[in-house]
Structure 1
Amino acid sequence: MSLRADAPARATHVHRFSRAERWVHRTSAALMGVCVLTAAFLYVPELAQLVGRRALVVSVHQWAGVALPVPVLLGLVSRALRADLRLLNRFGPHDRLWLRAALRRDKRHSARPAGKFNAGQKIYAAWIAGATLVMLGTGLIMWFTHLTPLVWRTSATFVHDWLALTMGIVLAGHIGMALADPEARRGMRTGEVSREWADREHSLWRT
C-alpha cells in the first residue's frame, strides 16, 4: 500500500545544537587551547627555550584562564543551553547500562542506550566543569601571591600543575573521540546531525 501523497516525509536531519551553544563551545575551546598551549611553553623546558618574552606568555595564560568561564556564563541567556545543561546534569538507569557496556567494551548500540547525551559525555562535562573551577581558584591564588600564606600558594601550585597534566590527557581523549565521529563534529559545527546517526547513537533522544 502506498503512502498518502500528503503525508509529511520524515526529515533526514535533526537539530542538535543552537547557535548560542555552538558559540559557547567554540569560544571555550579556543580559550582552553590558549591555556594549554601557554602552559606547555611555560613548563616544558624544550618549549620554554623558544619563548623570548616569558612574562607575556604568563599574562596571556592568566587572562585566558580567568576568561574561561565567561562564555558559559554569557551563554546562560540561551534557553537551549540551559535545557542541555539540565540534561547533562541528570543520570538515569540507561546511563548505568551505557557505562557497564563501555567498561565491558561492548560496542553494540543496543547495549548502550543514550538520550541526547550519553553517560560518557555527562561524566566528561561534569569533570571538566569542576576541574576548570579548581584551576581557576588555584590559579588566582598563584597569581595574587600577597593575599594568601605560603602554604596555600605551595598547595595551589601542586594541585594546579598536576590537574593541568590530567586535563591535558582528558582533553586529548575528548579530541580523539571527536575526530573519530564526523557526524558528532558536524552537529557541533552546523547544529544538525543525520537522523540515522541520532537513532543509532542516541536511541532514547526524542528528536
Structure 2
Amino acid sequence: MSGQKLNVLVLPGYQNSGAGHWQTVWEALDPTFVRVQMPDWDYPERDAWCRTLDAAVAAADSAVVFAAHSLGCLTIAFWASQYASAGQLAKVAGALLVAVPDPSEPHFPRDASGFGPVPLACLPFASIVVSSSDDPYGGGPFSRTCASAWGSRWIDIGPRGHINADSGLGDWDEGRRWLASLGEER
C-alpha cells in the first residue's frame, strides 16, 4: 500500500466469501488482510454487524482501509453514518465498496435484517464503488446513486455478475490497485 502501515479489514457479505472469491484470494496473498468475522453470516443483523465492525476498527493498531463486498458495503455505510465515533472514523483511510446490493431488489436476501433504506450521507473517508452492469443484487443505477451520495469514485467493470467467485476474477489485480490507491490518499 503506501509507506505507512495500514490494516486491511475485509468485509464479506451475506454467507461470507468462500474459496475462489477475490477477498479470500487477497487474504491468502497478504497476511495484513484480516477478515472481520461477523456473528452470523447466514442471518445478518445490521446492529450486530455494525458493532462487530466498530470493534474491529477499535482493535486496529493503525489506520485501516476496507475491502468490502455486497452486504459488507452496506455495513460500512450504516457504521459510518450511525455507529462510528469521530475517533473511529479518523482511523479510516478509505473503502473499496464492491457490488453494493439494493435492499429493495427482489433478490436481496430476506434473511438480512435492517439493511434498508440505505443511508445516503457522504462518507467521511475516501471511497471507490465498483459495479457490474449485470449484478442481480443491485446494478449500475443503484450503485451509481450510492457512489454519488457517498462522495465515492464510481467504476463500472461491465458484465461481471455479483463480482464474486463466479465472476472469474482470480486475484483481481485491478481491484487491489484501487484498494492501494485509497491508502495512498491518506
TM-score (ref. length: structure 1): 0.26
Give the number of the structure whose alpha-carbon radius of gyration is greater. 1
Higher strand share: 2
- Quick one: higher RCO (CA 8 Å, sep 6+), 1 or 2? 1
Higher helix share: 1
TM-score (ref. length: structure 2): 0.28
